[in-house]
Amino acid sequence: MKTKLNYALLMTSLSLGLAANITHAESTKKAPIVKVSAEHAHKTIHWGYDGAGSPKAWPTLKTEYVLCGSGQRQSPVDVYSSKFANLFPVQFNYRDVVLQPLNNGHTLQANYTDTVTTKNSVIIGGTSYPIASNTKKYSSSLMLGDVPYELLQFHYHAPSEHALNGQHYAMEVDLVHRNADGNIAIVGVFLKKGTHNKVLQNVLDNVSVTINQPRIIQELLINATDLLPNKRDYFYYNGSLTTPPCTENVNWMVMKNPIEVSEKQVAHFIKLIGNNARSLQPLNWREPLGSL
Ligand SMILES: [Zn+2]
């Protein structure tokens, strides 16, 4: 219970700075009523992917979740190639970091922080001295045009949340970034069934089965570059977080080319988390742009 609240708070804090730009579309429809049996009525229903907390009920669970129902720029969507444009160049500066896996009950993720302890040391006079941690040396970022966005975490969905020309993939990994103004940019990468995926295996092997118990695996370095396809063509559109509070004005870049994951790994993920994909949302007036 606590876990899920914490996650909601995290996502809320991620979206700080966006709120001012968001205009809510007034909804004239009444929110659907969630039926709760009498003996459970005193309990708070937490968001999830099935049962009383399923995506259809998200807007009714908390007032902060209203955009999950009334938002007009929601994610995920079906990306397709009809318009191509010279999109801003995206430059990835992903470095090796110590693996910090987390099972938050909704997904498995790897966290990035500025205070990653590294094993760096300096040798003076034959003695090895550790260099102070709390260094930004290992933080990862991307440049969207000339604006730096820091990588906060990446997490997985099964099946993929986005679709490409109506086609879903076995999984999707989302790399969540934030700039100094609090704006969010997420890079989504499809995973198709094929060969074993090293990064996911590291997460599966080291994550705690206990919900919300973060770990730091000092001896294991990962690099988010390994999650990117070799060809970096992408679709850009303006969307939202795909989990409550469904905050809008998120810069989405969905990679056109998938990476691979083995069938066994998909099954392992689903065994731990279950299916965790929100359904496709209407594009409304939006049209994803394909990079040239
Ligand atoms: Zn996601």
pLDDT 10s digits, 31-74: 444 444 444 444 689 999 999 999 999 999 999 999 999 999 99
Measured in angstroms, how far is the CA atom of residue 220 from the centroid of ligand 1?
24
Measured in angstroms, how far is the CA atom of residue 37 from the centroid of ligand 1?
31
- What's the pLDDT at 73? 98
DSSP-derived secondary structure letter, 73: S
Which residues of the chain form beta strands (DSSP E)? 78-79, 83-85, 90-93, 96-99, 101-103, 108-111, 121-124, 127-130, 141-144, 147-157, 163-164, 171-178, 184-193, 217-223, 234-240, 248-255, 259-261, 289-291
Is the pLDDT at 199 greater than 70, yes or no? yes
Measured in angstroms, how far is the CA atom of residue 173 from the centroid of ligand 1?
7
Most confident of the following: 100-114, 136-150, 162-176: 162-176
* Confidence (pTM): 0.79
DSSP-derived secondary structure letter, 55: G
- What's the pLDDT at 87? 86
Is the pLDDT at 130 greater than 90, yes or no? no
Cα distance between the two ends of the chain: 45
Q: What are phi and psi of 155, to 5 degrees?
A: -150, 170
Strand partners for 221: 98
| Cβ-based neighbours of 125, under 8 Å, separated by 6 or more | none
More confident residue, 225 or 4: 225
What is each CA distance from 218 to 35, 105, 116, 146, 257, in whole angstroms?
46, 23, 9, 33, 32
Measured in angstroms, how far is the CA atom of residue 273 from the centroid of ligand 1?
13
Q: Which of 102-111, 125-134, 163-172 has the lowest mean pLDDT?
A: 125-134
Domains of the chain: 73-291 (3.10.200.10)
- What's the pLDDT at 88? 79
Structural contact between residues 21 and 10, judged by C-beta atoms closer than 8 angstroms: no
**Average pLDDT taken over every residue of the chain:** 84
Is the pLDDT at 209 greater than 80, yes or no? yes
199 token code pair? 């990064």
Measured in angstroms, how far is the CA atom of residue 187 from the centroid of ligand 1?
9
Is the pLDDT at 228 greater than 50, yes or no? yes
Measured in angstroms, how far is the CA atom of residue 237 from the centroid of ligand 1?
15
Measured in angstroms, how far is the CA atom of residue 61 from the centroid of ligand 1?
20
Measured in angstroms, how far is the CA atom of residue 209 from the centroid of ligand 1?
20
One-letter amino acid of 206:
N
Q: Please state the rounded mean pLDDT for residues 227-235.
A: 95
Is the pLDDT at 77 greater than 50, yes or no? yes
Measured in angstroms, how far is the CA atom of residue 147 from the centroid of ligand 1?
22
Structural contact between residues 231 and 166, judged by C-beta atoms closer than 8 angstroms: no
245-269: pLDDT as tens digits: 999 999 999 999 999 999 999 999 9
With bands split at pLDDT 50, 70 and 90, how would you rate the model's confidence at 135?
very low
Q: What are phi and psi of 59, to 5 degrees?
A: -65, -20
Measured in angstroms, how far is the CA atom of residue 84 from the centroid of ligand 1?
25
Measured in angstroms, how far is the CA atom of residue 217 from the centroid of ligand 1?
23
Q: Please state the rounded mean pLDDT for residues 188-216.
A: 97
Is the pLDDT at 231 greater than 90, yes or no? yes
Measured in angstroms, how far is the CA atom of residue 155 from the centroid of ligand 1?
6
